[in-house]
Structure 1
C-alpha cells in the first residue's frame, strides 16, 4: 500500500487539451509542431488523434494530453464526448480564411453547452500568421471577439513555430489554475460539512 501511495504522489499532473476548429486551419500542424518540432504541410485530414508528452511547466514536470479532432466530426454525440473529456480548448482558425473565423463562435457555443458553464480554459488562436499577405481576418477583429468572450487571443504559425509553445503552455496554466480553484472549493465544502457535523455531534452529546 505505501508503494501505491508513493506512486500516486509521483504521478504527474495531466492536463487534457482539445484542438477545435474548422478543417484545414492547421490544428494538426500546430499539434505536430508542438509534439515533434516539425512542420507537416500535406497532412491527411484527421480522424481524431491523441498525443501525450511530458513537459516542464513553470518548473514542474507535467503531462499534456492533446486530442486533435477532425474539423467536421461525423456524429454530434462523438464530438460532445470529446468536449466533455477536455479540460481546456485551443480554438483555431486561419487568418487567411474568414469562414474559419466565423465558425469559432459555433465551436465555442458547443463547448459551453456540453461543459454547462462559462468559465472554461479556452484560447482563441489565429494560425498561419506567416501568410500575412493573404490575411482576411484582422487582428483587431479577432481581439474584439476574444475580449467579448473574456479569453486570450494569440496568433501562431505552425510553419515558423511562432507562438506554438506559447498557446499550449498558456492553456496549461489556465487549466492548472482552474483545477486549483476547484480544489479549494471542494476543500471549503468539506470543511463546512465537517464543521456542521461537529456541531451536530456536540448537540447530541448535550
Structure 2
C-alpha cells in the first residue's frame, strides 16, 4: 500500500461548504436535537437509502479518535474550515459537517471530533457504535500516542465485533521533523497490521488532510458495496443475513424514537 496518495487538488469554489454544528452533550452524540436533524442525520448501520439528506446527498458518519494533544481538532478544523489554530481548548465533543465531491459523487461528512483525555473514556463506546468510519490519529512526536492507536482499534473491535469497520490511520505533525519520535516505516507497519490506509499529515501545513478524510469515505463506500453483495455476491441472500437484520432493527428503533419525539 503506498504511503501517500497523490495530494488532492484544491477544491473548486462551491464544491465544498462547511458548517460547525457546535459542541453537543455527551449523551446526545447518537441522537438528534430536533425534527429537522431527525430527518437529515444518518442512522448508524442503516442502509444507504436512509443515510441521506432531503436533497439526496449521502451522509457519512465519521469519528476521529486518538489521544489528547495529537491534533485531532486541528486536522478536523483544517478539513472543514481551511484554518489552523495554534491553541484549541481540549475537546469534549465537537460535531462538524463538510460537503465534498469525492470521485464525482457528492458526500456530506458528519464528523465527530472526540475527546482524547482520560476522563472522557467512558464516552467512547457511544462513539464506536455511532460511527460508520474511523480516523485513528497519533502524533509522530509522541510515541505513547502511537502505541495507543492499536488500542483504539481493539476498542472498536470490542464494541463492533461482527463488523469490518472502515479505518484510516493518521500520523499527524509530520512537519515537526526535529521532534519526531515515530518513523514513517513504523506507521506503515502499523497500518498493515490494522489493514487500513495510512497518511502522515500536517494540520499546520494542511498536507494530506483532505486525502485522509476522502480515503475514509472511499473505504466506507467499498465495504458497503461488499456488504450489499454487489461484487459477485447474492444480494437477496445478504438481505437475510444477521448483518441485514441488525440494520433493520436499528432503523426500526430509530423510527420509534422519532415518533415518540414528535408526539
TM category (shorter chain) comes to 0.7 to 0.9
- 1:17-57 deviation line (CA, Å, top 9, x unaligned): 10000000000000000000000110000011111121111
2:92/2:120 contact within 8 Å kept = no
SS in structure 2 opposite 1:51?
strand
1:188 aligns with 2:236: yes
Deviations 1:147-182 (A, max 9, x none): 122112210000000000000000000011122222
Structure 1, residues 123-155: CA drift from partner, whole Å, max 9, x if none?
111000110111000111111111122112210
Other-structure match for 1:165 = 210
TM-score normalised by length of structure 1: 0.84
181 and 45 in structure 1: CA distance in 2 versus 1, 3 angstrom threshold: same
What's the counterpart of residue 246 of structure 2? Answer: none
Q: Structure 2 matches for 1:62-101, cutoff 5 A?
A: 62-72=107-117, 74=119, 76-101=121-146
The 1:16/1:119 distance shift into structure 2, 3 A limit, reads same
- Note if contact 1:13-1:63 (Cα within 8 Å) is conserved in structure 2: yes
Please, what is the CA RMSD of the aligned residues? 2.3
Question: Bigger radius of gyration, 1 or 2?
Answer: 1
Runs of 5+ in structure 1 lacking a partner? 194-206
State TM-score, norm by structure 2: 0.66
Distance 1:192 1:40, change over 3 A: closer
Q: CA separation of 1:173/1:76 partners in 2, compared to 1, >3 Å: closer, same or farther? A: same
Deviation at 1:115, TM superposition (A): 1.2
The number of aligned residues is 188
State the Cα distance separating 1:118 from its structure 2 match: 5.9
**Counterpart pick for 1:149 among 186, 194, 200:** 194
Check conservation: 2:91, 2:114, Cα contact below 8 A: yes
Secondary structure at the aligned position of 2:109 is classed as strand
Match of 2:172 in 1: 127
Report if the CA contact (8 A) 2:70-2:139 is conserved: yes
Q: Distance in 2 between matches of 1:60 and 1:127?
A: 27
Question: How far, CA to CA, are the matches of 2:200 and 2:103 in structure 1?
Answer: 22
Equivalent pair of 1:73/1:79 in contact (CA under 8 Å):
no
Report the alpha carbon displacement of residue 73 of structure 1 after superposing the two structures with TM.
5.7
